[in-house]
């Protein structure tokens, strides 16, 4: 089997930068030429670039250092955010935040080059220099060595394998995004209209099913309950970083000795609600499903909600405080200096009222939403596995540690 060779990037691609036409010249802008900025890449989150937010005119292109990159080449960010890559599916010019690689097609496949650049992105970032923002120079990139198979077909086969994994990742991300949207819609619908109700009544909190009662939030839920913990005892501790945005589960527990410092106190079955900006706005709310002891401690920036179990089931409390009406009201009532605003607990003790279904209907609602949460968890696990698979394959395939069989003997000319 043919070997791999080490070549400089300038040996396999024509390397160029970009530029920005003068903003003072209106005639340079809003033309037919696509013009990419790093934002187009970071927002795109895709292997391919089909469009750009900004366009320039032919005159703007000719009167600046921007160059039109033919389609199916690699654009890489080389300033501030270094190493983000896309393959342009349309002829595209870029600003100066890019280094662009026009593949020498007889030496390297563009898709293979894309994965090679991604594979080396962390090293490019380490090579970046600059006080205001990091940048890797084109001269450094031109002399940078990569290893490639001598056979173009082997390059293509490697790229195809990695592309297949990328497609699976993309599909999983789409499913995950759609499921998240379904969950938000279901929370809004189920917690205001319930299940299979046909008759509704007007109340101080809006229309709710006739069978539901309007109750003060604190009538059904204890806010920051007092739990007696033994001084000197080790208990599970939840810091703010352990609560993910828009996820029910607590990522991890640490330990805290009771009495050494303060903090919120909670029990299994309670809900933790982040009360400080930006955690409140970002949706940091968690349900305490299980832990090594009955009681635990957490950040002082949590408000703890404990269900009065004769009226409301534990998990229903979690979904209730995740609903738009509760969260939006809490966010509007935040007080304090900019950047350190908090939700006062009086919001939940005195101000908020809720529509309360029977416990039987609460359980049905919880079952529906839990099934959606389980679907999200499954897709997240699948996504994590696929990303690990991709990383492992890149490590093996892009270094030649694992070879792939090819039928043709066409080689890269030296």
Encode pLDDT of 318-333 as tens digits.
999 999 999 999 999 9
Contact 130, 72 (CB under 8 A): no
Cis peptide leading into residue 202 (ω within 30°): no
Which DSSP helix (H) or strand (E) runs through 355? strand 353-356
Provide the 3-class DSSP secondary structure of residue 346: helix
Whole-angstrom distance, CA of residue 123 vs CA of residue 134: 13
User: In the chain, where are the structural domains located?
Assistant: 4-149, 213-356
Q: Which fold has domain 4-149?
A: Adenine-n6-DNA-methyltransferase TaqI; Chain A, domain 2 (3.90.220)
pTM: 0.85
Contact 330, 251 (CB under 8 A): no
The CATH number for 213-356, chosen from 3.90.220.20, 2.60.120.10, 3.40.50.720, 3.60.20.10, is 3.90.220.20
Residue of 150, 118, 105, 124 whose CA lies nearest to 14: 105
Given pLDDT bands bounded at 50, 70 and 90, which one contains residue 338?
Answer: confident
Query: What mean pLDDT comes out for the span 22-34?
Result: 97
Given pLDDT bands bounded at 50, 70 and 90, which one contains residue 408?
Answer: low
Do 4-149 and 213-356 agree at the fold level? yes
Residues contacting 249, CB < 8 A, separation 6+: 286, 287, 289, 377
pLDDT, position 405: 86
Encode pLDDT of 261-288 as tens digits.
889 999 999 999 999 999 999 999 999 9
């Amino acid at each position: 089997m043919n070997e791999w060779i080490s070549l400089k990037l300038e040996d396999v691609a024509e390397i160029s930068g970009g530029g920005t036409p003068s903003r003072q010249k209106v005639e340079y802008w809003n033309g037919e030429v696509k013009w990419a900025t790093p934002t187009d890449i970071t927002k795109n989150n895709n292997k391919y670039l089909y469009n750009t937010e900004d366009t320039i005119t032919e005159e703007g292109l000719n009167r600046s250092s921007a160059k039109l990159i033919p389609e199916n080449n690699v654009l890489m960010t080389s300033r501030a955010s270094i190493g983000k890559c896309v393959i342009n599916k349309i002829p595209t010019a870029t600003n100066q935040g890019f280094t662009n690689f026009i593949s020498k097609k007889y030496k390297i496949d563009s898709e293979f080059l894309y994965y090679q650049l991604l594979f080396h992105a962390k090293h490019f970032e380490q090579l970046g220099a600059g006080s205001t923002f990091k940048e890797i120079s084109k001269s450094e990139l031109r002399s940078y060595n990569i290893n490639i198979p001598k056979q173009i077909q082997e390059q293509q086969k490697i790229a195809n394998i990695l592309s297949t994994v990328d497609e699976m990742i993309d599909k999983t991300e789409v499913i995950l995004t759609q499921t998240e949207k379904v969950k938000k819609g279901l929370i809004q619908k189920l917690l205001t209209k319930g299940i299979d109700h046909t008759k509704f009544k007007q109340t101080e909190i809006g229309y709710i099913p006739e069978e539901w009662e309007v109750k003060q939030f604190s009538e059904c839920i204890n806010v920051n309950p007092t739990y007696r913990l033994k001084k000197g005892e080790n208990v599970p501790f939840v810091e703010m970083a352990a609560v993910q945005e828009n996820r029910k589960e607590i990522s991890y527990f640490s330990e805290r000795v009771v009495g050494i410092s303060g903090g919120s106190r909670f029990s299994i079955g309670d809900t933790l609600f982040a009360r400080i900006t930006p955690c409140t706005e970002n949706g940091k709310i968690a349900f305490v499903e299980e832990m090594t002891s009955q009681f635990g401690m957490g950040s002082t920036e949590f408000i703890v909600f404990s269900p009065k179990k004769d009226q409301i089931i534990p998990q229903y409390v979690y979904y209730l405080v995740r609903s738009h009406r509760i969260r939006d009201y809490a966010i509007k009532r935040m007080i304090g200096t900019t950047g350190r605003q908090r939700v006062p607990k009086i919001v939940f003790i005195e101000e908020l009222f809720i529509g309360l279904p029977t416990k039987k209907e609460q359980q049905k609602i919880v079952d529906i939403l839990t099934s959606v949460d389980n679907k999200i968890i499954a897709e997240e696990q699948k996504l994590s596995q696929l990303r690990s698979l991709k990383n492992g394959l890149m490590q093996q395939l892009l270094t030649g540690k694992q070879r792939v069989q090819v039928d043709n003997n066409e080689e890269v000319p030296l």
